Amino acid sequence: MSEATETQTHDHKDLVDEKIVMAYFFMALTFMLVSMLGGLLMAGQLLRHNPLSGIELFSPGRWRMIHTNAIAYGFLANAFLGLLHWSIPRLTLHPVLDKRLSWLIFAAWQIVVLATAAGLLFGQAQGLEWGETPVWIDPVAQLGLLLVAINFMPPILKVKGPMYVTLWYFLAMFIWTFLTYAMGNFVPEYFVSGTSAGAVGGLFIHDLVGLFVTPLGWGLMYYFVPIILKKPIWSHGLSLVGFWGLAFFYPLNGIHHFLYTPIPMFLQYGAIISTIAVEMVVTTVIINFFGTLWGRGRAVVEDLPIRWFYTGMVFYFLTCLQCAMQTTLTFQALIHFTDWVVGHAHLVMYGVFSQWIFGMMTYLIPRIWKTEWYSRKALEYHYWLSAAGVFIMASDLILCGLFQGWSWASLQPWEHSINVSFPFWVVRVFAGLAMFAGLLVFLWNIWMTWKTREEVELSNVALPA
Amino acid sequence: MTTRSEQKAMRIITAILAVLILIPSLYGFGSKLLEFIALVRGDVDGVFAISPVANYLLASAGFFCLLLWATLNGMFHDIEAPKYDMLDQEEKLDQEERQAV
């Protein structure tokens, strides 16, 4: 970044293909809608109000997988790919390798996600949590990830001199995601079995969060927070500590999903210790971002993208703190298999990463369309319904998990834990409805912004002089 | 500017810290590695352990090489500079965009 190269350009139009960014956003929000519908159906199922009861194709087990896969591969992956098309060319001053390849990847990725959904509905799921993509799709998805790396890595590799932390995260993510997907989907399927396959599955589940979603999320935060606040990150050195800490401590975390299993204890202890080490690393990252905000605290009130980002950061710190506690053997004995884990997953996937993406969309959509949001009030509704909804849902499920754990620990009949859970599951439905309403408001606002958009001077939108 | 005696003192302190930290760490890591090898060779449990540990060691070895390469190529010299360069670059891009509108 510090040394100019001959092929660099400062022309935004040459660097960024805004149409593909919007196309990815559109698909991401479509899959978010599908995923939330799946979540609501599952919530209804738990209350014995399943409108699709008796239809095998739409059985709850299959809907649950649609819910999780649509979020991971439909919403998060699509949104992140769109955001990479914006941030990498602007950070490196080089366009992606080939814009036609970008559109090919876009089309291929939608086919992968839709084929996954069809495969899951027809009962062809692979027996691996979060890797349920049918086995015949795995090679195509793997090829897609390779093409993504081929398209995005050249501009990063052209950067001369010390790299900005965001590019470190992105560079590592392209390698990690490719390896993680291969490890999780092929190793347990074809090379190892039994407990060993379980251990690899544990690594896959957690590495997908820590080595795919996390580096993308934090990489984008290190890009968007300084440019919106117009203030450099508090300490670039500390941000690199966070990156290298993630690189060395995260890969062993996954086995903490399988504590108290026949996996050798030294591996379980290793996972627990590295999880606690990651929490230390996370603390440095949080300190860095709040150090950056220091003196500009009003931005959290006035600037919606910044509010989304910092809300997500607070939730991130809480989830990691939770993670460090829940992976201890004592705690795990109580909460394993309970709704605590479901609450934790919602807090991290929706409370953190989805909220960050909403913040980035809130910033970029009017900028790309060169207009202002149709309704600021609707943006506020989207924020409050989503943030309050996920906070209530996560708190509710975490508490529910404790009651379930105590019920099982006291050797009560299974039905007792169901009866105890019922009120919590009712609250969960209403929290989910609030989040869903927030999304609908956001979609309506996007539609109205598009319909009523007027060419206004760019400096009035998102480019304060 | 540091004087020669200060540099010497820093080297001595670094060496003492290296001995105090690295020797126990290497002893701990080495003994655990030997334990792991013994487990792999002599116990059926070892098979369970190979896949995740091998995955971790391979990934970490790769990133250790990257860290080494980055250090030797001056990626951490003037460590705070990239954050200012990034903001300047964004400002230039925004200016160009404003002029184009």
- Per-residue pLDDT tens digits for A385-424: 999 999 999 999 999 999 999 999 999 999 999 999 999 9
Question: Given an 8 Å threshold on Cβ–Cβ distance, is A164 in contact with B86?
Answer: yes
Q: Does A281 touch chain B (CB under 8 A)?
A: no
Question: Given an 8 Å threshold on Cβ–Cβ distance, is B93 in contact with A237?
Answer: no
pLDDT of residue A460: 52
Quick one: which of A229, A90, A208, A89 has its CA closest to A152? A89
Q: Does A230 touch chain B (CB under 8 A)?
A: yes
Conformation bin of residue A453: beta by default, left when phi > 0, alpha when psi is -120 to 50: beta
Burial A270-286 (b: 16+ CB within 10 A, else e): bbbebbbbbbebbeebb
Mutation to test the B interface, candidates A157, A205, A248, most B Cβ within 10 Å = A248
Quick one: which of A251, A255, A249 has its CA closest to A199? A255
SS3 of residue A231 by DSSP: coil
Share of chain B residues as helix, strand and coil, in percent rounded to the nearest 5 = 85, 0, 15
Which of B47, B83, B89 lies nearest to residue A236, judging by beta carbons? B83
pLDDT of residue A114: 96
- Which one-letter amino acid corresponds to residue A222? Y
pLDDT of residue B98: 82
Chain B closest CA to A83's CA: distance in Å? Answer: 16
Chain A closest CA to B50's CA: distance in Å? Answer: 8
Mutation to test the A interface, candidates B25, B43, B93, most A Cβ within 10 Å = B93
Q: Give the pLDDT band (50/70/90) at residue B48.
A: low
pLDDT of residue A462: 52
What is the ipTM score, two decimals? 0.87
According to DSSP H, which parts of A209-303 are helical? 214-229, 236-249, 265-293, 299-302
Mutation to test the B interface, candidates A174, A243, A267, most B Cβ within 10 Å = A267
Q: Does B42 touch chain A (CB under 8 A)?
A: no
| Residue ranges in chain A modelled with pLDDT below 70 | 1-7, 455-465
Chain A CA closest to residue B64: A248
A412: phi then psi, degrees, rounded to nearest 5: -70, 160
SS3 of residue A275 by DSSP: helix
SS3 of residue B79 by DSSP: coil
Sequence-separated (6 or more) residues with CB below 8 Å from residue A10:
A93, B89, B92, B93, B96
Chain B closest CA to A199's CA: distance in Å? Answer: 6
Question: Given an 8 Å threshold on Cβ–Cβ distance, is A90 in contact with B89?
Answer: yes
N-terminal to C-terminal alpha carbon distance within chain B = 50
The Cβ of residue A451 has, within 10 Å, a number of other Cβ atoms equal to: 8
Quick one: which of A185, A228, A225 has its CA closest to A204? A185
Is the pLDDT assigned to residue B44 strictly greater than 70?
Answer: no
DSSP secondary structure of A184-220:
HHHIIIII--HHHHHHHHHHHHHHIIIIIIHHHHHHH
Question: What's the rounded Cα separation, in Å, for the pair B68 and B65?
Answer: 5
Question: Given an 8 Å threshold on Cβ–Cβ distance, is A264 in contact with B48?
Answer: yes
Helix (H) or strand (E) run with residue A13 in it:
helix A12-15
pLDDT of residue A6: 58
Place of tokens 């501009």: A155
Sequence-separated (6 or more) residues with CB below 8 Å from residue A332:
A256, A259, A260, A326
| CA A14 vs CA A4, A81, A89, A230, B57: distances in Å | 17, 18, 9, 24, 41
pLDDT of residue A2: 47
Mutation to test the A interface, candidates B32, B37, B56, most A Cβ within 10 Å = B56
Q: Give the pLDDT band (50/70/90) at residue B2.
A: low
Burial B11-29 (b: 16+ CB within 10 A, else e): eeeeeeeeeeeeeeeeeee
Question: Given an 8 Å threshold on Cβ–Cβ distance, is B63 in contact with A247?
Answer: yes
Chain A closest CA to B23's CA: distance in Å? Answer: 20
Quick one: which of A35, A32, A63, A39 has its CA closest to A429? A39
Quick one: which of A232, A383, A239 has its CA closest to A295? A232
Q: Does A244 touch chain B (CB under 8 A)?
A: yes
Q: Does A13 touch chain B (CB under 8 A)?
A: yes
Question: What's the rounded Cα separation, in Å, for the pair B37 and B82?
Answer: 43
Question: What's the rounded Cα separation, in Å, for the pair A447 and A147?
Answer: 32
Question: Given an 8 Å threshold on Cβ–Cβ distance, is A90 in contact with B60?
Answer: no
The Cβ of residue B95 has, within 10 Å, a number of other Cβ atoms equal to: 13
Chain B CA closest to residue A178: B59
